[in-house]
Structure 1
Amino acid sequence: MAPAVASVYKPISPIPGSYAPPASVSPTSTLVPTVETVENKIRAHIFAKRIRLVDLFADFDKLRSGLITASQFKRCLFGAMQSSAPLTETEFEILVRFYGVPGEFDANGKGEVGGGRVKWVDFVDSIDKVFGAKKLESTPTLYIPSPHEVVIPFPPPNPLLSDVIDRLRQYVKHHGSDVKTWFKDFDKYNGGYITANQFRRGIPQNVMSQEEEDLLVEQYCDKVTGSVNYFKMNTDVNRKVKRTRMDQAKLVKKDKGENVENEKVPIGTEELLHAVTGYWPQHPSVRLIEEFIQKQVYRDRIRLIEFFRDYDRHNNGVISEGQFRAGMERTEIPLDDTQMKILINAYKDKEGRFMYRKFCFSIEEIFTKSNLLSDPLAEVHPPTREFLVLGINELSKAEEARMEIILNHFRTLMRERRLLLAPFFEDFDRKLGRNVRGLVTRSHFSRLLSTMRMDVKETDLHLLFKKFENKQQTKVNYIEFLRAIDPETYPTNRPLPGTEVRTPTSGRRQQTVASHAAVLQTVMDRLRYHAATKRIRVSEFFRDFDKLRCYSIPRHEFIRGINRIGLSFTDEEYEELADAYADKSGKKGCCKWKEFEQDIEKVFNDTNLESQPTKIPEVANVNTNPFTSADFLTNEEHITLRKTMKSLAEHWKIRRTSIKPFFKDFDKLCTGHVTKIQFRQCLTYLKVDVSDAEFEVLCKRFSKSAATRAMEDEALEPRDNHPIKENAERICYLMFLLELNNELEGLLTDPTASNGATDQKILKYGKAIFAGEKIDLPAPAQTPPKRSKVVLSPSEVTNLLTRIKVKAKTERIRVIDFMADFDHLKHGKITKNEFRRALKVIYLNLTEPELETLEALYQNTFDPGMVNYVQFSDAVESVFTHKGLVHAPTMEPTPFESSAVDPMLNALTESEQKILDGVLVRLREKVRQRRIDVLSYLEDFDFVKEGTITTNQFRSVLGTIKLPVDDAEITVLARRFTQDKNMDRINYRAFAAMIASGAGERVGGIW
């Protein structure tokens, strides 16, 4: 260790070139620094510049003897210290005298100074202590001092200088100035150095005395050049001073009595008057502090050992006290200095270092027990909720009675106004994007109550603080408050299914074998439907539990994996699944999750088809519309539902309000569902008077869970005692609107309910309501009766496919591009509705029988509700080329002949035939006289050379070559040479051939 500051200087006789003493030292005696003082000066410079002295000295010691001459020693020191703090001649002689070889120097360090040798290795080892101890591999328990313990500043800090700097800092802050502006005019090159006289002239007047100016000049003066570095003084003045917080936080002395938490302090000042550690005991025990850290670690899922491992370079399980404090600060666990000292004293070893590994193992006992390898049968239980969460506080009987009145008032407001307070509290509870903690300050709590118009008296407000405040953190537990005033929306937490130990008589119902089978079938149907619609792979939820890959896991882990799939079941349903897939091969208490996975994933396809290539896959049927039945309602609820729907239809018959936009405002993602509270709000906005009982029936009928209850067997007991939770159940408003629309149509078409034309207007208006369309529409015509299904003949099917192919070749249509967007799984099939939508975009003139024919022609073999669009696309694109030419390079593709059209398509009447004969005779004569090549003119508009052009292009060409025709004649020509029923394109080659022939011949009455 370095010597004390008092022994740094020794009075000796003056030596020329020695260090000048500071102003605070008495001028009666001249002081010369000791060896330790000079070394501290070098250490401070070396540590600040991060210089390794061994690289400077090793070049002069060729034989690696550890000795160099005094002149070489001086050159190395001069090269290391010349930048900021060069050594004086006296300091150099002191080092040479101390590290010189005995006998080569005299008693005063003189004599053979140039020829004497110096032990530079010992000098470098002494200086490098500032970077840490060396050769720790041989002495691993050696104490490693910190740099501030090794380096003693030279000269020692002057209290008077600190006062001067503080005064300058206050002056600069008060006047809004800067130190650089005082001396900027003297420093033309902006180098940061000016003379001492310029420095004195630049200091403002009446700020400091002459002695204080001399002190500043001496502090910031360069020992070599004699100039003053005012940049360095500016840095010291502008340096921020660390302010203490705890001392300033305790502004008011608190009474340590037992009723300190009930003190009615002004709202907003509780964090000043009640410190965070105010509820801690004055001398807490180590166990109490560890329990507090365990709660924080378990809540935030902190891996505590990772914050200390980087400090333990040798992996010996111990670190220094400062490193432990630094690691705890990074965890952001609020501990004061007293609690830190208690932990350090408890886990300190004999050498004063902190045993962090032992501390981390003690804290991580909350997750699991240590040394489980030696006790594999030990049972590990999670911490109880009472240990982790501090519940509500207990009050006296009078206060509890008053609190019940306040809570009942809040419950009434929540029920009448249908409020949802949790999002408002969570906005104040989030910290830097982290999860909510369930705590807010008193100010936030009172502010939210006032914002939501739930104001109470000041005495009642402080009574709420006393009831729901967390005493350890002096904040209000709003989670418990919400559970007290809104128990339906925020019920009490229950353990996850499968975490409790199963007993033979754990409340299960006595059911018959048929009932067990019905329950199991219902649950499996729900799981298959959920897996098919969400595209879920069941193995992802069980694979992590099966470490040995034996496809058998414990019963409680099997139930936990089912719960992770995303559906909620009752305890009886979980037990039925566990019993059905119990492992009977010898592993008691285990379930075969692989068999369960195979049964669920039958909805996608059969497994192991690669070993059975001739097997026809059997796809499990999935109920795609779970809202088609309401058999789970009782008779009374059916009657209530019918009355409610009829009254709603009567209401909208009178009000004529557009309904769907109200629900779509809440359905941002267009899922077709809203929450229970949003469904109630929409009915309120529409001014519908529905009682609570009727509303519950509507929720049961149109809730998302109705899909699961609709598939239950009638023999099972109804689960009406399970209320619909806001966070779990959602209402399908689309099904509600559809059923209400049907009810409205039935009401308006009833002859006893309305009359004639008025009924038709109201019926049309009701449909527009649910479709979200405009209501100012003309009265619709009578709906034509539905035509019976028409089956096309083989010739008509051939003509239909030919028309489709001709259009695809003419307009260069790639059919698969219009249908592949509907196939998200890329399995080559889409639904019939999607197939129709794509065809309507490409071919607008297809009739209903033609669409039905195409659907039946390309229907999927294994799934009747799907259409194989890839096969249809290949058939249409055969007009361009033959598919698979890569595998048959010598094959000659057959060109597509578009002449195979309907022979009755170009049939004309007698009047039209007369017009055609006249125009053809006139056109032939014109062509013969003028020698016109009609075909060459028409081919200019046929860019793809497929033999057809549009009707407008045909008429334009005839006008260009001076073959005029009127509207009637062009209509007849278009009908005669058209390729489709709409007469969009004309076969110009047949027309040109007929014009160029000598006389037109008739074949069967047709040209």
Structure 2
Amino acid sequence: MATATVAEIENNIRTIAQTNRVRISEFFLDFDKLRSGYVTETQFFRTLWLNLGVKMTPGEEKLMAAKYDINRNGRLNYRVFCDNIEKGFDPNDVRRDPVTQKVIPEEFLGTQRSVRPLSPKSESRLEELLKHMGQFYKYHGINLRTCYEDFDRHHIGKVTESQFYRNFPGPADVDSEDMYLLVMKYRDPGNPGLVVYLNLHHDLVAIAQKMALADTSLSDITNVTDYLVPEPEADPTLQQSFDKIRVAVFKNGVRTPEFFRDHDKLRSGIITENQFVCGLSLAIGKEAQLSRNEIQKIAEFYKTPDGRVRYKEFCDMMENAFNIPDLDKKPTESVVRPPRGALSRTLKGMTPEEEERVVKVVNEIADQVAKRRLMMYQYFKDFDRGRGYTRVITKTQFGRLLHFLSLNVTSEDFKLLCRKFEDPATGDVNYPAFVQTVDREFVGFTMNDAEQPMEEGKSSKSKSPTEMTMDISQVNIEDLLARIRHHVLTNRLRVAEYFQDYDTLRSGSISKSRFRRGLALLGLSKIGHHDLTDPQFTVLCKYYENTQKPDQVVWVRFLWDLESVFTQPNLEKMPTYRVPAQEIFRVPKPGTMDWRYASEEHQAIFEEAMERLRQRANQRRVLAKPVFQDFDRHNNGYVTQGQFRQCLTMLELHASDPEMAAIEAKFCNDTGFNYIAFLAELQPPEKQQLRYLERLQDMRATNQKKKLPELNICTDFESLIAKLKTKVVRERIRVLEFMRDYDKLRTGRMLKTSFRRALDLCKFELKESEVAILEDKYKSFQQPEYVEYLKFSDEMESVFTTKELEKAPMLDVEQFKPPVEWEQNQLLPEAEEMAKRCMDRLAEKVRKHRMQLFPLFEDYDRVHNGTVSRSQFRRVLSELDLGSLVSDQEFNLIYEKFDVKVGGKDDVNYIGFCDMIYDLAKFEWRKP
């Protein structure tokens, strides 16, 4: 009882899920963060209630919890529940049909058709009624769903009872009792007065499918041979007729139902025998060359007991020639393709005497075409009257062209040619077949399995080039692979990129044509680096042939054989394996002589000749390479043997014939004479010394950072603070603005690294030792790696005002005055005395002559900072005739006394110098 109740609950949930088109598993994932497949009972039932509207009773919840609480820990396995609800088929159960494993809910819209089920008599009557309605709808092509969609504005599959009665499509013999029975069966118990027409539609579809399966005469055709072979094998003539019709329908694109449908007004698929014969003759009789007897046999095959013909089955077979209907729903079916040449235009058969005469005429025309080198196809193509080139011309046009090309034949021979190359469908002349027969170099049109008379006394059936035997005994697979490896290694090619696009399923094998195409892209073709001949390609295909599919090549094996020049596969599994050097995969060009196997006499002649040529070239200092390059138009390092001898003559490097033959044997191959290798032995270049390690050591030594000695630093805190305050006053710097951004919480502290960064932003230009002094002074005692920047900022701000001045209104504020830089300079007493005597001499002369000192100094002070360089200072005194009064020692003392630092350079403060001279000369302030 419990199992049945759980099954009913699951069926109800399954119906609701299908009606709403939802996947229940998506709603449980929000509660299962770890994707364990389990949720709590509360989460399980809450999900069903909120998302599906399923509210269970306590008893039903206990039954569901007992079934899905697998581990008995209070957590329900929602994955098993979702698998049961969204049940498809078990892929591991191969003994049962997947269709029988599916659980499909009966009610599409989730309704219960009646609270009280109908009586067995009413159920049987309803079943008969549905079968009758299904046959009626199928015969008349009626779809019940479309009849009620106009009333169903919300597309919920339901209409009112009045709307159901009003638009009921029949049949006419359904009385009011039957209609009432339908309403009682398909009414919606949740919404009184509504009828679920969509459930009725699906029941009719299901009954129609069961009736179709039960009907043996119109059973489902699931095999492609049912379309292609409708006649038993007892009558081969009928089978040939079907093949001809199928090919003609496929080639001409004939829609066969169009020729029978007008005779079938009721669309029953059956017409009379005379109508079938007329329609078939009109549709494909001429194109397929059907005789009256063949058409009659086909009509007899599809004839019914009442004398009519089932044309629908015939049309289904013809419409699906070489194809399967609904192939997208049958992925496992294999389509039978037409045999090679079945769709080509064949030539007519003739008597042996006529064939012999046609062969003689065609050979005569072919000889004239070969001698005169005529290109015939273009002349015939101009007369082709079809837009898509029908490849046929009229017999009159054919005769005119033969006369125009001076290929005159007798009238009887012309008639034979027209009969031989006549197109069966149109009766015109198939000119591509004629051109291909008489012009052996014409390959623009291919006829497969077509008779082509070529030579007298021989069979007229031509052989394709692929069927001709080729000699592959001279091809060595090892030498060929070595040559391809050299090509891949030299050009650094990734072989997989040229083949993997052809292997969409990543099966590791592709067809031979695609393999040839990939090799051409790789550079193995006539226009590539290496000409891969047909025998070589055949050997490659046989070597890498797929044993299961002989028409394919295992390109993955070919890939690993080539990429072994770079590395080995699965190298991580063999840590001790040593990859061979890439140089062993390099091979010389074809035709190169292996000098190791040359005779001793040959080698002696070569060495003696090269030594003599080398000495002469060194004595005369010959520059030989430009002479060879003049003959090397392709810049590939090769010239011909004649050009090589000519170059030696131009360079006056003479050699005898045996010596010349020995040199050519060493450096010649199929490409030509390798003059690059010859010049490397004739004038070997100096070997470059490997100095990379030495250069690397020099660069490392150069890039090693060494700390430079600090100059002009402040060694104590007082002098450093005075220096900073002076800079703050002169440049009007607000130190707090640069530091508060590093203290987001306004704690008054910052990291030492941030403190250094803030000092750099202030442009204080402090040295490492000076920054260390500030960090030690303002270090935080609570956190040693922090600095109390607020105290430092207050100290710097004190040069402008006193902090919290509002608390001391009577305090006298003294503004910080930065000291004059040159006044801080101190000299020794003896030096100070000597400098004072020098200044007195200069002041005495300035007083006597009333000299102006500032103008000349200002001319050199372009930035007006009150300083000049020492050379400029000395030049100004010389121009004022004061330089003769000062010795070199006194100049140095003046430099030291008025020295100021500007950009790390020692300059002279000429303003202080001039003011002191004017004071000593007793001039008034700023006069003269």
TM-score range, shorter chain: 0.3 to 0.5
Larger Rg over CA atoms:
2
Q: TM-score, normalised by structure 1?
A: 0.35
